[in-house]
Amino acid sequence: MKTRVFVTLKTGVLDPQGKAIHHALEGLGFTGVNDVRQGKLIELDLADGTSAADIEAMCNKLLANTVIENFRIEPVSS
């Protein structure tokens, strides 16, 4: 059972990595970029019986820092 977890910074939290990408894109001549935010994508390959509550616990305890980050869990249909 495959599951994807998307971890993104909350709005209002500074994102220096995103700023650096934005700056580099402009340096390469790409115009029309208003904003860039970088997040994390974590692909989990789980045993079939893993419950949604377990996956949420993994996110809260380890995968995301819920003070500054949001997470979204998305099952992957195989």
For 24: left if phi > 0, alpha if psi spans -120 to 50, otherwise beta; the answer is alpha
Exactly one of 10, 13, 50, 66 binds its own copies (CB under 8 A); that residue is: 50
73 lies in the site for its own copies, by CB under 8 A: no
Exactly one of 10, 13, 52, 54 binds its own copies (CB under 8 A); that residue is: 54
**56 contacts 7 by C-beta, under 8 angstroms:** no
Exactly one of 19, 46, 56, 69 binds its own copies (CB under 8 A); that residue is: 46
24 lies in the site for its own copies, by CB under 8 A: yes
First to last CA, the chain: 8
